[in-house]
Structure 1
Amino acid sequence: MILYGFAWMSGNGYAAAAVPVSEALFAHLSWLVIVSEVLMLPPYLDWFWILARGKSVFPRGMALSNPLIFYLLLKLITLLMPDCPLRLAFTNGLMSESMMIWFAVMALWSARRPARRNDARWKK
């Protein structure tokens, strides 16, 4: 939302106000990012724990496909990027990008593995 507002203001004659307005919005709404990440943390940790203990149809190594791990890897990439608009956009979408990578890994693993109706893990 902030990036869209910045782009619209910059392109419609409000370029001088675009930066201060965007910075004010970010300062006012940045707490939402922290709250949403704190609320997402327990399910991700639970997912890791279930996979690491082997209590899933996925192999234990899939515990490394946790979105938090992808998030940390992408965060390291942003630290290597120069300070530019792309870095800001990339940083703002880290959780979405992490989830996209995670869904792709899950989809590729699921498509590669044939479905078994009588999987021994589910008979316990």
Structure 2
Amino acid sequence: MKMKILLILAFVAIAASAPQKPADQVIAILKQEFDQQADGSYVYSYETENGIKADETGSLKKATGPDSSDVIIAQGSFSYTAPDGTVINLSYVADDENGFRPEGAHLPTPPPIPPAIQKALDYIASLPPPPPSRN
């Protein structure tokens, strides 16, 4: 037991002694644009010296929900380099009907539906709707 604790403390000490990046390091903005229109639509983009890039366009529309207030419909993308050196690219669309929908190769995907479960789901979908309740 003492050996396990000693090993854990050794790993913690090694991790704590690893070189840290200075917290006061300033990253310059190489390019930045923003254009807002009177109708509420906008376009923005920026790029930093450490490789972060982002852009987005948006516009106002009436909500499809019951409150019928104005909502922003947006689409855009961003990219950056992860600590392991992998370049992360993400694009997205956001609206009041379907919410935020990101797409990127790094995002997890659900496993395939097993054939027996898919067969059951197809059967359930083929059934007629239940009769209305009398409550």
TM-score bracket, shorter-length normalisation: under 0.3
Look at both structures and tell me which one has the larger radius of gyration over its CA atoms. Answer: 2
- TM-score of the aligned structures, taking structure 1 as reference length: 0.25
Q: Higher relative contact order at CA 8 Å, sep ≥6: structure 1 or structure 2?
A: 1
Which structure has greater strand proportion? Answer: 2
- TM-score of the aligned structures, taking structure 2 as reference length: 0.24
Which structure has greater helix proportion? Answer: 1
